Chains A and B, each alone.
Chain A
Amino acid sequence: MSLPATIRQLRDEMRGGQSAVAVCEAVLEHIEQIKPLNAFNTVMRDEARARAAAIDSDPARWRNAPLAGIPIAIKDNICTKNVRTTASSRMLERYIPPYSATAIERLEAAGAVVVGKTNCDEFAMGSSNETSAFGPVRNPWSPDRVPGGTSGGSAAAVAANAVPVALGSDTGGSIRQPSALCGVVGLKPTYGRVSRYGLIAHGSSLDQIGPIGRSVADAAAILSAIAGRDSADATSVDQPTMDYERALTGDARARIGVPRSLLERGVDPQVSRAFFAALDVLKSGGAELVDIELPHARYAIPVYYIVSTAEASSNLARYDGVRYGLRAGPAQGGLHGMYSATREAGFGAEVKRRIMLGTYVLSSGYYDAYYLKAQQVRTLIRRDYDAAFDTVEAIAMPTAPTPAFRLGERVDDPLQMYLGDVFTVSANLTGLPAISVPCGFTAERLPVGLQLTGRAFGEAAILRIADAYERQTEWWKQTPTLRFHE
């Protein structure tokens, strides 16, 4: 078989007699070739081969399975039973989950072959994949640049054609921003659409698992497999799901809102140019563009970094060296000495910074001024989006204000790093679904992403519009020529 391949191409090849084992071997070989990108924490060679062989040996059982034999990479903060799951942290370097995330079980029930666990920012905190305890991932389009984060390994692995699809997780843009920076498609579903059971918690009111793929159709195929109510996650909801590939009619007709005043400052001119050119394509395909206002969207970054760090400081309290993960600590100093020595040794700088910030905004005397205030402004941001969606079906923005930046460029300036999330965090604060699709390149051949945000549970609409856009463009077919400085 030849790579790159989409799920559709692989399905055709396998219907034509190609074995799941052959597809798996080709992918494993490709993963080996892209090793300098550092996209994988763990490659599951034995497990993937055994699984592919099992699928080949029982064609009757798997003939109608939508993802039979399709290789997929999984972000390393999503639990895989009996396979090391680290969240790219020293804290969980040797953690072997006793269960799989619901999303993994559903992918496997649909026939997918999990081939490995991808590198990410530590505990999914970062915007560049540079906070990983196992080193940064490199951008396949320019190896001295970041792939984005936090699902940087998943996006880079797909962009470099090592795998057709991958799972990521998105708390403030962690699927969409790396997808934009690596030139692939990434979808954050509506909060509650996909079970979070088995996702290592970061910001529990913001986190969602979602797909990264080369095409909108592939993202739709993966969403179809993982969506739906799960009794193990009380926040997953009982909303009808569908075969989202069937929503892809090629019809771009829709009212699309454009928050122009939000885009006036702080956007790289080349990103702006690609974005407005994409709007022209949508318009020529039948979309109606409408100017909208999102008056509180400019407060989304401070609100996000208060709410998400507050939730993270609480979620990460569980890493105390008792039940799982690292234990460090002095022989003396008792239980608390062990806790703090473990947390000092196990967490990296960004995770500590966020735990500190979150603890501060929740602490007595500061709670009302920061945390409560941020939750109130979160309501105002939701109301802005509710009002906009009274008149439009989707809202268009660039996914990220700049293309991929250089490794190391922002690591010493956390605030600068946070500001890059300006267009992505609102979808998490509001819970709305949002997709990033490739919409052009800069002069240095760095990809640019177009983001479409939809109504709650309106994945079908944004997938349809994104797919119609993709059919009119060739950006998504571009692939990087890998050049490694060994």
Chain B
Amino acid sequence: MREPKLRFESQEYADITQAQLPACELLFQGTDIVDDRGAAVTALLASSAGTVVKLEYVPGSSQLLVGGKVNGKRLLQDMIKGVRNIRIEATTLGMAEIIRVLQAADEEGLNYVDIVYVEPESYAHQGPVFSESGLLPHRDFSLTSNHQFKGLTGFSHEYQESTRAHHVFFLGFEPWRVEHAFEQRDNPDPKIYTRTAVIGVPAFTPGWENNVFASHTETLQTKGFTAGDIRYCCANSAREAYLLLWDLWHMKGDGEQVFFVSPLGTKPHTIGAALFLLETRGQDATTALYYDHPKRNSNRSKRVRKWHLWRVHLRQPPAQPASAAPSMVTVI
């Protein structure tokens, strides 16, 4: 089994200006602006890029639309050919779009990709806070809709009842996504289908981890998770999520079983999962994505808390940062 090879540089800002952003030739962003941070990041990044490309993955037809056009995978590759630096605006993009850009960047031999992510000040509290009967929880969030677990070509593996597997779930604020995952798998036998839950600790802000614990307690209990099946990983670190998956894969993965990953938690965890899946494709110990491609709800979050800039080096030796690139604080 191989070792993780990607290198990360990271920088974070409470506020950011145009001057602090390295320029890029291509910027990839989502089609929908659903909250304050999406609007803020889109406005800021637009002028830092030579070309802005809007991406949308349509789960119903399994198509990636690039600037509204089909045949997205091929278009992406054509676009990236010959380009030196690209930026992924991960706040407005979903798992499928992020992994497709990373895949194209990797296949076109780019040395590195830049990724931007913006944390919100708060998530919209959707629940019945004033519940008269007090029966509904006060940690009820409704951040996404339209969930349907659908394989993504290139990262999918067939499952049958007898399939031996290990499944890693990154948890967020919406426990029904995990429930739905198990439902669609018809509650597999934990003896041959082992599982790990990953919770974002420390959370974006102290206390938010309680939203994950409280809302998932019953699900974790009924699905047979034990204390040893729960791991923690900094909620805003793509690198930690990536390395944790490598650790788990080294421990649990083998040629006889499939290693499924469901990034249902924070976006940094999703980015870490995308990088891991990309790097481990085609190995003897199979890895696969198991994902529900949610639609992000309008006004799901409020304001902006923190900006993250990551540079992920896909090749060795690391490319020299472009002259306009910020000096990254952490170099791993």
User: Do chains A and B stick together as partners?
Assistant: no
A residues whose Cβ falls under 8 Å from a Cβ of B: none
